[in-house]
DNA sequence: TCTAATGTCTCTAGCAACTAGAGGTTCAAG
DNA sequence: CTTGAACCTCTAGTTGCTAGAGACATTAGA
């Protein structure tokens, strides 16, 4: 049985984060020692590793909750999990496209900086003047980047 | 003079967001009408447009605060603004690299989904088993993606 | 066996960057 | 003059944690 600290180091997830996951129901309530400290077995260890990997891949905790409930009932179709991953891929490609545009814009801004005074600095100017922007962006263009 | 609603539509920033920006000091306190409603001139309009563009480019509100304080004193060197933009570019490229790795991983997961039952679904498996992951990731690998 | 250090407990509050809603006031059009 | 949209302030919620206070548990060394 692992203490929360050992679980933390083994899974690469911080201690308060583990407690947080328990609080929101992503992890089951842990067993307790005689002195009320949390104790974990390998099942929770695996579950936590699953969560960490999913987080690293950009899944929200809600998506992870769905994936976990799927894997808790493994006899059904894979289609739902597949669906979640595909939605995730769409979101990732969306973010990628926006970030690439952003990279180009920043490169342009920096290239145009003449190292004079701010009065003629394009970094400021580009941000203040839409006409200089170089790419089209509209109001609904940045939900969370 | 614009009301907050007109400013909102013109600048493409939602009404509560404008009030929020005022509250945290990004926008100056607005003039008020006889009936206590906010009124804006073109100066605030420009400032708000600046903020929106900077947000769309991924600058944090803190970075924007810095940029605004720079542009409020335009007789100094451009270097500071340049510096902020460059730091931003580094962060953007970082996010890009991670997102590209993530895209590849998701593509691989989806390609491997055999459309069977979850018991042998790779989407679940890949997330639970580090060995199948295909790329190296360590614990300090995802500050905000 | 005692003690000191480290680990753990619960609880509250905070972060970014907003968004949503309640309950009330003001303004503009018909 | 009335109606309805737009505005006001205030509080609380969102996501995914992180930080700190103050108290209890455990463990390693003297």
Q: Label residue A87 by pLDDT band (50, 70, 90).
A: confident
CATH architecture designation of domain A2-72: Orthogonal Bundle (1.10)
* Better-predicted residue by pLDDT, A52 or A130: A52
Average pLDDT value for residue range A53-79: 78
- How many residues are there in chain B? 145
Average pLDDT value for residue range B14-33: 95
In whole angstroms, give the CA distance from residue B118 to residue A72: 9
- B chain contacts of residue A77, beta-carbon cutoff 8 Å: 115-118
Query: Cβ contacts of residue A38 below 8 Å, gap of 6+?
Result: A3, A4, A19, A22, A30, A31, A32
* Residue A117: predicted pLDDT: 60
Q: What's the mean pLDDT when you consider all of chain B?
A: 78
* Residue B77: predicted pLDDT: 66
Give residue-wise pLDDT tens across range A14-64. 999 999 999 999 999 999 999 999 999 999 999 999 899 888 777 789 888
CB burial class (10 A; 0-12, 13-18, 19+) of residue B65? Answer: middle
Indicate yes or no: CB of B92 within 8 angstroms of CB of A103. yes
Indicate yes or no: CB of A50 within 8 angstroms of CB of B99. no
Q: Find the Å distance, CA of residue A40 to C1' of nucleotide D29.
A: 28
Q: Label residue A8 by pLDDT band (50, 70, 90).
A: very high
Q: Is the CB of B6 under 7 A from strand C?
A: no
- Please identify among residues 115-134 of chain A the ones whose CB lies closer than 8 Å to any CB of chain B: 115-121, 123-124, 126-128, 130, 133
Is the pLDDT assigned to residue B73 strictly greater than 80? no
Q: Find the Å distance, CA of residue B106 to C1' of nucleotide D30.
A: 56
């Amino acid at each position: 049985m692992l203490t929360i600290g050992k679980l933390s180091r083994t899974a690469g997830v911080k201690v308060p984060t583990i407690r947080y996951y328990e609080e929101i129901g992503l992890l089951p309530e842990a067993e307790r020692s005689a002195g009320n400290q949390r104790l974990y077995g390998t099942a929770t260890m695996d579950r936590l590793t699953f969560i960490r990997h999913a987080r690293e891949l950009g899944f929200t905790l809600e998506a992870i909750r769905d994936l976990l409930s799927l894997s808790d009932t493994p006899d059904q179709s894979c289609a739902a999990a597949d669906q979640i991953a595909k939605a995730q891929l769409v979101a990732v490609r969306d973010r990628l496209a926006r970030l690439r545009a952003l990279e180009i814009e920043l490169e342009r801004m920096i290239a145009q900086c003449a190292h004079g005074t701010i009065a003629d600095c394009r970094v400021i100017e580009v941000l203040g003047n839409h006409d200089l922007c170089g790419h089209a962006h509209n109001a609904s263009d940045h939900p969370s980047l």
